[in-house]
Structures are given as C-alpha cells and as structure tokens.
Amino acid sequence: MPYVKRLKTETKRGRQRSRIRYDRSMSTETGRAAPCAVGPTFQDPRLYVEEAVLPEREVLALAHECGLEVPPNLLAWYIENGYFAPVIEIAVLDGPDTPPILGYSRWQLLPLFELERARHNSLKIWPDRPAGGQDRQSWQWQLQTVKPGLRTLSEDFRPLARARAPAAEQVRRRRPRTSELRC
C-alpha cells in the first residue's frame, strides 16, 4: 500500500517500527483482508490496551455525560445486591488489607441505563404526603420485576460477574423481605 509506505519513510524511527510490526499470522482473519481504511500494519491491538477498563470515578463521569446521575453509594448498592458487577478486581499485592481496585467497562453503561430506567419508572413520590404516606412500592422492590430482556442484555457481563461475585448472585435470587418493600 503506497500510503502506508509513505508514512513509514517519513518517520525517523522506521527501523524500530518495522521490527515490531504487526504479524499477519496472529490475525483472526483467514486469508481475506477486512475492508478498512487503514492498512493491516495499523490494526494493532496494543493501541487500546490502556483503556480497556475504567475506574469507578471515570465510569461515573461517563455515565454523567450520558445523562445517568448515579452517585457512588447507589452504584455500591447495585453491586452489593448483585445487579451490577465490576468486570475486573485488581488485588493490591503490597497491601493485603487494601480493598481491590475495581475496573468497569464503558459498555456497562447500557445495563446501568436499564437499571436506572427501571428505578425511575417505579419510584413515584407524592410531594404533599409525608414519608409514611408514600406508595408502598419502592424502586428496590421494583427492580425484582425487571423484564427478562435486561438479563439477556447483561449476559456478556454475567460470566465475569459470576466468577467474581458468586455471593452477589445469590443475593440477586433471594426474595425480598417484607420490610424491604417499604420505602
């Protein structure tokens, strides 16, 4: 490809680049090149390795940009009750007592959106009534009746969640107590 060749000759580090060139043999494409604007030299997976997972602060900031106002304590509640799980837990080897660093995927925003929608749709507040006079339904109760579509959508995260948090899976299946049905 002449375009790629021109780029390679312009760079000062051409020799070093060519040494670590992307090897076609590791490609999953079997013989046929995918239609793509960039040549195979540039389809190198290492380009994006550093942002595969996001810390909680960044994923919540991204959720904010996407219109989801999720405070950290709500996220913690979702995780604790098995509706949501980080995709990775990185143990801190130097500090055994330090809690592991949790990593999230940006694609988890869709399950988060579904959870938030279920919560917003179920919570009804009567401003003229005191706390005791509100509906007996709460969003925590309503989340138990989330449609099966949500579970299907979360399927790609489920194996990870199952591996990382088996206890959370049990919590998810547990029927809510009557006391939890109150607001």
Partner 1 sequence: MLLLQNKYVGVARGHRNFVVEMRSSIHNEHEEYLRGEYAARVSGEGALQEVGITLAQAVELRREFGLRSHWLDPLGEWYRLIRFMPLDARRKLKGTARLAQEMYIADRILERYLSERTGKPQQDTEDLAGNPDDDWARRFYGRTKDYRDPEFLEVLLTQFGLYPGPAVVLFVEGESESDLFPAISRLLGYGFSHFGIQVENLAGVNNAPKVVETVRYLSRPAPSGAGQLLRRPLVTPFVVVDREGPVERGRLIGDMTEGGLQAYLHIWNRDLERDNFTAAELATCLKQTYGTDSTVAAVETWMESRVPLDKWILRTFDKQIRKRDLVPALLRLIEADLDRGDDGRPVVQLMIKIIRYACRSLPVDDPRRAGLLIFGH
Q: Quote the longest CA-to-CA distance of the chain.
A: 75
Residue owning tokens 């009804």: 124
User: How many C-beta atoms surround the C-beta of residue 80 within 10 A?
Assistant: 13
Span interacting with partner 1, options 76-84, 122-130, 154-162, 164-172, rule CB under 8 A: 154-162
Work out how close the CB of 11 gets to partner 1 at its nearest, in angstroms, rounded to a whole number: 8
Q: Specify burial of residue 6 (Cβ count, 10 A radius: 0-12, 13-18, 19+).
A: exposed
57, two tokens? 């602060």
Give the helix ranges, DSSP H, for 25-179. 56-65, 72-80, 109-122, 139-142, 148-153, 158-164, 166-173
- The single residue among 40, 74, 101, 113 that binds partner 1, judged by CB under 8 A, is 113
The interface with partner 1 within residues 117-146 (CB under 8 A) comprises none
Work out how close the CB of 21 gets to partner 1 at its nearest, in angstroms, rounded to a whole number: 10
Contact letters for partner 1, residues 33-52 (x by CB under 8 A):
-xxxxx---xxxxxxxx--x
> Which spans of this chain sit near partner 1 (rule: CB under 8 A)?
13, 16-17, 20, 23, 26-29, 34-38, 42-49, 52-53, 62, 65-68, 87, 105-107, 109-110, 113, 149, 152-153, 155-156, 159-160
